[in-house]
Amino acid sequence: MRLFVAVRPPVEVLDALDALPRPTATGVRWTTREQWHVTLRFFGDVDDPAPIGEALSNALYGARAVDATIGPRAAMLGTRVIHLPVAGLDDVAASITSATREFGDPPPQRRFHGHLTLARTKGASVAIAELALAHVWTVRAVELIRSHLHADGARYEVLERFALRD
């Protein structure tokens, strides 16, 4: 099963994301409300999620809630991903990566780059200047998620949720 660890924005951020314009362009697939999240660690295909859940439970035990800041402007990540940057999750991502290093795909060696994917492109040119949103929210949970891939985009299933202390 294809797994990752992520945080999801609260309803008020989801509503603001829903209100953003979605310029029409050939070769652009906009993500949906159900898909919006910030990936903290991607595992790829894993046979058994239980050891990952246990490692996450240990790593996040007693961890405090953190503030995440989304925006202010959309940008391109490479040539194929339109995203909004998300700051404030570096320490949580580092803790998760450290605790789960032995599971799944090796974690990237590069520095964590928090982002929320708005669209995937096939190299199409898209006007993204109007895609602006600035919001701060308190992250109170981290989720272990299973990704089900479909032709029209991924669908996500939360396997475990780990609360962060206020």
CATH number at residue 80: 3.90.1140.10
Region 88-103: what's the mean pLDDT?
96
Number of structural domains (the chain) is 1
pLDDT of amino acid 63 = 95
What does the pLDDT look like over 10-51, one tens digit per residue?
Answer: 999 999 999 999 888 888 899 999 999 999 999 999 999 999
pTM of the model: 0.93
Instruction: Compute φ and ψ for 33, nearest 5 degrees.
Output: -50, -40
Q: Contact at 8 Å (CB) between 99 and 58?
A: yes
Q: Return mean pLDDT, the chain.
A: 93
CA-CA distance, 161 to 88, in Å (whole number)?
19
What residue has token string 């660690």?
41
The predicted model gives 39-67 an average pLDDT of 96
Alpha helices by DSSP H, the chain: 11-18, 50-60, 90-100
Domain that holds residue 35: 2-163
Q: Are 1 and 49 in contact (CB under 8 A)?
A: yes
State mean pLDDT over 107-133.
87
